[in-house]
Amino acid sequence: MKFEQASPPNPIDQERVVTRPYTRIEGPLKVSGQAPYAYEYGLPDAPTYGFVLGAGIAHGRVTRIDTTQAEGAPGVLLVLTHENMPAQAKSDTPVPQQTEASPQLSGPEVRHYHQAVAFVVAETYEQARAAANLIEVEYEQTPGQFKLADTVESGKEPEDAVDSVVGDFESAFADAAVSVDLTFTTPDQSQAPMEPHATIAQWDGDQLTVHTAHQVVHWVRRGLALTLNIPQKDVRVVAAFVGGGFGTKLLFFSDAVLSAAAARLLGRPVKTTLHRPLIFNNTSHRAATIQRVRLGADAGGTLHAVGHDTWTGNLPGGDSEPACEQTKYLYGGEHRQIRTRQSELDLPPGASMRAPGEAVGMLALEGAMDELAEKLGLDPVELRLLNDVQFDPEKGPKRPFSSRRLAAALRTGAKAFGWDDRPRAPRERQDGEWYVGYGVASAFRTNLVKPSGATVRLNPGGTLTVETQMTDIGTGSYTVLGQVAAEMLGLNLDQVEVKLGDSDFPTSSGSGGSWGANSSSAGVYAACDELRRDLAQKAGYQNASAVFRGGKVWQGAECTELSDLAGNGGVEATARMTYGDLTEQFMQAGFGAHFVEAGVNAHTGEVRVRRALSVVAAGRILNPVTARSQCLGGMTMGIGSALMEALHVDHDLGLFVNHDLGEYHVPVHADIPDLDVIFLDELDDQSSPLRAKGVGELGISGVGAAVANAVYNASGVRVRDFPITLDKILAGWDA
């Protein structure tokens, strides 16, 4: 099925099951410990255990590696290095950063700290870890570049972020009645998923089965097959439950490649998890940015000049952090200059992290909008409303937004939050020893769709089974896909079994980029539509007039039980949803508004978020419970990004020194106050037959800026170097 025109009325519009607040159907498995994650699958044969030894330098080469003591240690079965690693090839997965993770142990060159230099397999994890410490490695260390600020002059226009220039920005900015020219910096950040990267690999002849923690099953299947020089048909990947990814599990790393290679050599399963420091330095992270935002407006607040420059860095071949993306679309302004420059750094690979681009780009853009509003003497909400636009500002009215309820989100949020009661000036309101301030920011996230397929099977007895490669990374995929299938076939949710995360199933969109629920649901929709046709024909009904309701298919007053149509063998249909050019005809995005109340301690400069509200317009909300959870998680990450998250780089040694959850600070329960989410009614018929849009990353995009703006309103200190820590507040007061 190809989606290439606006969605007409369809069975999803019944909203008998879809849009209803079902709790997660796999929840009991998770809370009882029965949901198997990558490291927890049972095996018919006793597994062996792998341990990855990471490089002790960030740039240079291995000149000598002696594994003698390790090979003779108790329980050790195999030690792999670049000297005996089987031949490999490079992966060409859709994630360019994967070139830095595949192949593994391919040579003596060291490209970043904690790059794998050896792999030990033993009978127990403890034996493998102990033996790894016995390996002697000598290096020739060469100078590397680890500091983004020192490389801005060498930055080049990356292939994935072409300059966007409309009109004459420099002249318009120079002539603006009111303008701001501001620089913001954001640090390197880690996705830090709760579940470590982990893999169990086992071979049966030429057939490889890999249980791994990955967000897109067909990407890792193809990547492993290419890396190991084997046919894709000989690789099976299973990822039924994934304990968070936030982008880092769009790639595969040393655990997957080395486990598979070692398992083949040993003829036994190999089980590997990356210990926490390796997750920070061996896998991916969000790259640091330096951003310059220039906004020029007339005296009434209408934008005429919009400029956003981003500098970022990565290993050779890696993508840029697209921090300018939202600035292309969020506000009007006829003169625009949006540019990205990327330099080469010798840090671990930079890659996707929840809301790549917008999460940090909105910190700069929405911070600049707040400062412009102050300079104009305008309410920050009114400034945003004044510059709302219903079409792509770069391409004009010929490319309208498929739906855009930014203004409604701002107005709804302002009323619900009590925005009119906000402090009008910094340090105007005090609650005991706390200054109290309000902040606002718009929310924006580009809506992405991916081809996706599924198989649906009407079983004897009238129940339904759904099979698709789609993963559940804690987002509620099992429940949402079950709801879509139940709606299409006129069943209750408890009559549907959903099976996910297996490469034996039809290829799915996978989870990432907020494309998961909408795209994978569209694949299930396509398969169910095909099954409906087959069942209607089998019943002797016209498909166009057949109605599926209450476990029956109806035509007028006549009906047939689905269980009768299933017979003894069941009825099965497989289909795939692909897309035309609607994303080219219409700019598609989710919109919203974030409101934050923050307190700043008058003595210590400590910041506490007191309450926060997000108003979200993201098409049809398929399940308000799981969607709300996604928004709350995004809001929490946004607060963390604003106030505490930062990987600290040792600029001499080239590593992230705070490489564990003790030193890399993320929000905990005590940091997060009452959060609330309001969903606006919206249907986007250009997005998919579900008329939904992505929501998971919209929840983070803009939250940090709302926090920063609230901190200023409370304290009078503008912090543009994130995260906002108390020392920066105190320094502002001293100044």
The residues assigned a catalytic role are 697
Question: Distance between CA 77 and CA 74 in Å, rounded?
Answer: 9
Using alpha carbons only, give the angle 190, 192, 197 rounded to the nearest 5 degrees.
115
Residue type, 316: P
For the CA atoms of 80, 83, 85, 89, the dihedral, rounded to the nearest 10 degrees, stands at 140
Question: Distance between CA 489 and CA 524 in Å, rounded?
Answer: 11
Buried b (16+ CB within 10 A) or exposed e, 562-579: beebbeeebbbbbbbbbb
Question: Distance between CA 715 and CA 719 in Å, rounded?
Answer: 11
Residue type, 553: V
Laid out side by side, the sheet with 109-110 consists of: 109-110, 60-66, 136-141
Neighbours of 508 (CB within 10 A): 30
Residue type, 138: E
Q: What is the largest CA-CA distance in the chain?
A: 82
SS3 248: helix
CA 24 to chain centre: 20
Question: Distance between CA 265 and CA 268 in Å, rounded?
Answer: 8
SS3 431: strand
CA dist 464 to 21, 124, 504, 540, 624, Å? Answer: 21, 42, 18, 21, 23
Sorted by sequence, the CB contacts under 8 Å of residue 671 that are 6+ apart come out as: 608, 609, 639, 640, 643, 644
DSSP letters along 48-69, please?
A: EEEEEEEPSSSSEEEEEEE-HH
CA 362 to chain centre: 16
Question: Distance between CA 274 and CA 259 in Å, rounded?
Answer: 11
Which 3-state string (H, E, C) describes 681-705? CCCCCCCCCCCECCCCCCCCCCHHH
Where are the strands (E) in 187-243, listed by range? 198-204, 207-212, 235-238
Instruction: Classify the phi-psi angles of 462: left when phi > 0, otherwise alpha if psi is within -120 to 50, otherwise beta.
Output: left
DSSP state of 366: H
Where are the strands (E) in 67-205, listed by range? 76-80, 109-110, 116-122, 136-141, 164-166, 178-186, 198-204
